[in-house]
Structure 1
């Protein structure tokens, strides 16, 4: 592989062919540097050039691409600033009877020269409105000549590409056509093995690139997409299969179940019976831990299904076999909660070497960034000496000076919060490859688990332990009933007077534009225009609730990510102990916080949160056997797209049903790890719900290929595609497990 001449797909873009400036723009604005990356920049849609786009149905405040005819074009000097303003009226009908739109350009000499009356063009930009009329301001445009418009030849679809402000869809189209014209097709390496292509009658890669970028009719593009969809699934599944094979090839220290050890003593002390699910998953983990290869397992389950208890029993098995366990948590609040609950649950078994502790007990220590030097030194010593069988911490566990006596098991809570490097930094602290258990309380549909966590064995807890009370969820629409917010505070007082406790959750901390604790942005969901409402600040609400008559005399606490760690701990301890009845918080309480006496949660601006986040938050209440109530407060009108999410959460407490709905509503890439900006999905044509069969077929094919040829020596083209497709961002989403 290393000695071969670089294949054409890996070759850099040629400045002589495309122009030095264009090559530079591709790299800087779209991160496209190679021929393959350019050819894999597929059209996002196709426009029929012989038809004008119906302007009456164009949405407001969204990026659109449309074909229209220029009805009029007038330029004038601006009064308040230098330069000229060009006002172009475009129409979707020769007579202008169906629909028109105003397109405005500032100091656009090219537009003034080219957009003459009667001209057909493709316009791309974000729609706005001015004086009740739909507008486009400074859109990108490209002219359609008579050939393009289908006057003199067969209608040919116009590809529309994801573009940037520095390069238009039309420029991308012309560059790709130049590359297609100059490719030496015999050198295009096809990552899909020939026997699979024959079996499924897939077109070759050269033809697929031609048809997806220059289809004679739109059906050609669909056929090419089908081929690339399978190729994408095969590449991703091959990467996962190879990772599975690498894990299986590693050697780990076997941690068999020791009869009469800490785990057996712990089981005997439990005041309740494990659910059948907990017993079954426990047996799976016990078998994995006893193996000679590292366990690599995902444990998913509903909020409150007892994942931590299952993980704790696995930790005790490792301790019995002479090893240590590390639990990595995403926040200090959650790490402290884990430390308290595990220490409390173990009782004397967590007091090894202490007066009154079990003779063969262990120790549980906490390690966080905000601890004092003395506390930190004591925790580090306990971990390094092996006195501490369980070490719980945040990112502080990853520090170079943290050492373990014999790290045998790593438990990662809410694993999606940690990157690959962080997980590997902890693995490196073990003498032999440690066993790995990652937990998530966000239920994952099987197709998602198969795509994203394909290198992990998946265990699922579906039933809730006895004693978990049902939670009633209601949407509180202030748009139609502004006074309902007063009822929410009255309801809060009723709950507190009954001896219970209440959470109020807000989407932001203060008035700052950058809110580290803020909720998922609503733009993650298709069709939801930006929300211009003023969001509820946790700091301001805390102050204003002091003056609400219904809450007079109620002891309140404030919790958010910017507070001093000691203050956070004191507030959480006060709520745990029942001293604080009403906790006004951001989403720092989203996972792991366990206060059995909390029965009511009021979520302000609930439309700003994703479905899975609302489900997670709701899981903080009803944990002590008392019925729970969750109020989703929103200022949006009932017809707003985001209200559909709230209605979905209110309609069911089944996390798997909600995760399926979440996947339908959200952009695919966000679920699978697209960039935070809401950028392009890491998957181009693969939709994990729609294409489950394609994924399953590719998964089976990939496993067979890796079983027969672990290094892909016989399939260099496929290995090449792994490097081309799996850039750093996509590797990250594959590595989230």
Structure 2
């Protein structure tokens, strides 16, 4: 007999176990049994009463009712027109190479067919599906006396036919079942191999002890784990599948929530500097000088943060807010509260452009409150210091010294802040702007910089939650504060899609629109997706990228796929400066310019010396030029949803209406055009974040991959299963309040470690 912890090579043999390990990383019985079927083939019943949708992949078992060779209408040759009878359905199937299949696909034959649904004149069919001819069900006497039948197949199901010939191959009696499991597979390890291994292991498996307490099983109405694992792999009814999925989804959510609950408890055990509000200090002086009233939302969020900073345990809070909702002013007030308590603050920005912008804007907002050590400085003043990797040696040495001695109350920088050699005198608060642009290890490096073994408080900010942020908000241990309202007097941005191929004159009109705004004293951005300097790493896109594969390019003379045609920032700058915007001051900004040139371009645009800034995504976050009212995003289909929303947030930040034009060659009606129209149709960043999550799915929320192509969650969906996650969170908190180390619940502890490998647990610990 076997247990979940047993090694597969002991049960299946080394050759098979090595193949499973190579393909899926499996080593134990539990690894194999957690490799769930992703769909089930049926005797036709899965079709139900309604017709399947166009493009749906279906696998059915059916009997051939008729098979005739008929001439093709559009070209020479014949096709095999097949009619199948399955359950109460008839299905039309076409094969374009009748000479290869007619000896197998004959009237009366019972076979499994797998293919993609296509519609023609409101009738659906399968075209050239994979198939495997199945033996007829046999009684007990036949099984003893008859020789095994030869199994024939083609296409993706040919592997099943081959496997069935092996002595230890698939037991074809499985296809007499109402539901046949179909597994995620690879070229080397096919679904049928997984099926055979699963059945072999289940035949030897001892009853599985249930890690969930009886009270939660009763409260949620769950079946036991042993029944769930057996039912998910070999169900007799759809209802059994549903009950098994409900239980196993909860297990996945509970494993994550228990790990996070343990980390919440660990955070509560850490010490952090107590930074209570202090009357008559720097924060009060700054508040008294504010030339505007804070919104109700800003005041509410500020109170939440202030209360966290007053506790002796580290704050771990996410501040999410609409583009332009005033997150920076909230963060600055929190930093001043920490400085009043005698500690330093670090502000981590993703780019040098944004770091320099933050240094300028915070210094400007503070005025003489940021000039400590200078003549005429206010008696309560602190110092704002910028530290970036491209600084010359003298400036960098000065900045490092100000951080080390404590002369700088606020140190602003990029990843250079977390390199070896950067030390703080007494770091009390870390503010991470656009937190999704930093790796967890990078943020963790700053978190460990507190004095005398303390951990600084951490505030992470984002304007548009990307899928990872939503996932970690739903699953994570961050406390969340949200700003939804815009500051008074700011108008929502108007966005329009410009289909360049359908209406080329609209592109011309976009350049005219820029000229009109400049004539009225305003400024404009033109954004491109790539630089165009010939470097292999030419794209300047969000690390998350577009939520779908980029459009395919043309095939060159060699037959190789060429990259899709896009406009580079260098090409467009030259074209605009010498063409439609030739009498305007047109500047250039991209990520590979020297730091001095980037800073000079941004300063010139900020000061109004440039009318138009042609740039890449280096202006995506934090750049604040109130006089900029128009943004034209070229090749907008190359950007992700959240990135488009971030970019357009750079305009309309003053008292004038903002306009964003999304230029694309994408065809109307395509999924990409639908995505762009959705972005243009709303300025609600939280609605767009949900759209982004639906498009890209969760990604590997417990690991480092963010693309949405990899996930540690096999059944649980962060889009569809919020209720399951909430129930699991409540369960995890109830358990860990009484037993934070899960010492009294060894089954739950084992569930956590088996579901989350060591690397992900370590990652989660830092996150």
| Same fold flag (TM > 0.5) | yes
| TM-aligned CA distance change 1:355 to 1:140, over 3 Å | farther
Residues 1:159 and 2:181 are matched in the alignment: yes
Contact 1:520-1:608 at 8 Å conserved across structures: no
541, 547, 556: which is aligned to 1:518? 541
Quote the residue 1:13 is aligned against. Answer: 8
Q: Is the 8 A contact 1:506 1:585 kept in 2?
A: yes
After superposition, the Cα gap between the structure-2 partners of 1:215 and 1:320, relative to the gap in structure 1 and judged at 3 Å, is same
What's the counterpart of residue 680 of structure 1? 710
Q: Where in structure 2 are the equivalents of 1:309-324 lying within 5 Å?
A: 309-324=329-344
Report the equivalent of 1:564.
Answer: 594
- C-alpha separation in 1, matches of 2:421 and 2:684: 43
With over 3 angstroms needed to count, the CA separation of the structure-2 counterparts of 1:272 and 1:101, relative to structure 1, is: farther
**Shift in alpha-carbon separation, 1:18–1:505, aligned structure 2, 3 A:** farther
Q: Equivalent of 2:685, from 652, 655, 658? A: 655
- Give the deviation of 1:585 after TM superposition: 2.1
Are the aligned partners of 1:521 and 1:609 in contact in 2 as well (CA < 8 Å)?
Answer: no
**Residue 29 of structure 2: aligned partner:** 35
Counterparts in 2 of 1:421 and 1:663: CA distance versus 1, 3 Å:
closer
Name 1:99's counterpart in structure 2. Answer: 93
The match for 2:722 is 692
Contact 2:84 2:91 in 1 (8 A): yes
Given that residues 68 and 92 in structure 1 are in contact (C-alpha distance below 8 angstroms), is that contact kept between their aligned partners in structure 2?
no
1:500–1:212 CA distance, 2 compared to 1 (3 A) = same
The CA deviation string for residues 429-476 of structure 1, in whole angstroms up to 9 with x for no partner, is 112121111111114899946754531211111111123222111111
1:476 to 1:92, Cα distance in 2 relative to 1, 3 A? farther
> How far, CA to CA, are the matches of 1:493 and 1:204 in structure 2?
69
For 1:235-246, list aligned pairs within 5 A: 235-246=255-266
User: Counterpart in 2 of 1:397?
Assistant: 417
Is residue 505 of structure 1 aligned with residue 527 of structure 2?
yes
Q: Rate the CA distance shift 1:126–1:502 in 2: closer, same or farther, 3 A.
A: farther
CA deviation after TM superposition for structure 1 residue 605, in Å: 2.2
Task: Report the Cα distance in structure 2 between the residues aligned to 1:92 and 1:268, rounded to whole angstroms.
Answer: 82
* Residue 557 (structure 2) pairs with residue 535 (structure 1): no
1:319-718 paired onto structure 2 within 5 Å:
319-431=339-451, 432-443=454-465, 448=470, 452=474, 454-510=476-532, 514-518=537-541, 524-525=547-548, 530-532=551-553, 533-548=564-579, 550-669=580-699, 675-676=705-706, 678-718=708-748
Q: Does 1:269 align with 2:280?
A: no
**Structure 1: gaps of 5 or more residues:** 1-6, 75-86, 105-110, 128-132
The equivalent of 2:16 in structure 1 is 22
Candidates 239, 242, 245, aligned match of 1:225 = 245
Q: 1:607 to 1:355 in 2, by over 3 A?
A: same
| Inter-CA distance 121–154: structure 2 relative to 1 (3 Å threshold) | closer
CA distance in 2, matches of 1:680, 1:580: 44
CA distance in 1, matches of 2:424, 2:506: 54
Deviation digits for residues 70-115 of structure 1 (CA, Å, limit 9, x no counterpart):
99999xxxxxxxxxxxx998967379982325699xxxxxx99997
Q: Give 1:592 shift.
A: 0.8
CA distance in 2, matches of 1:639, 1:157: 37
Aligned in 2, Cα 1:92/1:236: closer, same or farther, shift over 3 Å? farther
Taking a change above 3 Å as real, the CA distance of residues 386 and 376 of structure 1, as seen in their structure-2 partners, is same
Distance 1:675 1:73 in 2: 50
Mean Cα deviation higher: 212-221 or 373-382: 212-221
Deviation at 1:419?
2.4
Q: TM-score, normalised by structure 1?
A: 0.86
Q: 186, 190, 198: which one pairs with 1:168?
A: 190
Does structure 2 conserve the Cα–Cα contact (< 8 Å) formed by 1:299 and 1:460?
yes
- How far off is 1:557 after superposition? 2.4
Secondary structure of the corresponding residue to residue 699 of structure 2: helix
What is the aligned-residue RMSD (CA, Å)?
Answer: 3.8
User: Cα 1:303–1:522, aligned 2, differ >3 Å: closer, same or farther?
Assistant: closer
CA gap 1:271/1:50 in 2 versus in 1, 3 angstroms: closer
Number of aligned residue pairs: give it: 699
The alpha-carbon distance between structure 1 residues 736 and 430, as it changes in their structure 2 partners (threshold 3 A), is: closer
**How far is the alpha carbon of 1:411 from its aligned partner?**
0.8
Tell me, what secondary structure is at the counterpart of 1:424? helix
More displaced stretch, 510-519 vs 219-228: 510-519
Seen in structure 2, the aligned counterparts of structure 1 residues 46 and 640 have a Cα distance that, compared at 3 Å, is same
Closer, same or farther in 2 for the Cα pair 1:570/1:197, shift >3 Å? same
Q: Is the 8 A contact 1:300 1:459 kept in 2?
A: yes
Change (3 A) 1:139 1:514: farther
Does 214-223 or 115-124 show the bigger shift?
A: 115-124
Answer whether contact 2:634 2:664 (CA < 8 A) is retained.
yes
The Cα of 1:417 is off from its aligned counterpart by 2.1
Secondary structure of the 1:181 match is helix
SS for the counterpart of 2:92 is coil
Looking at structure 2, the residues matched to 88 and 167 of structure 1 have their Cα atoms a distance apart, in angstroms, of: 32
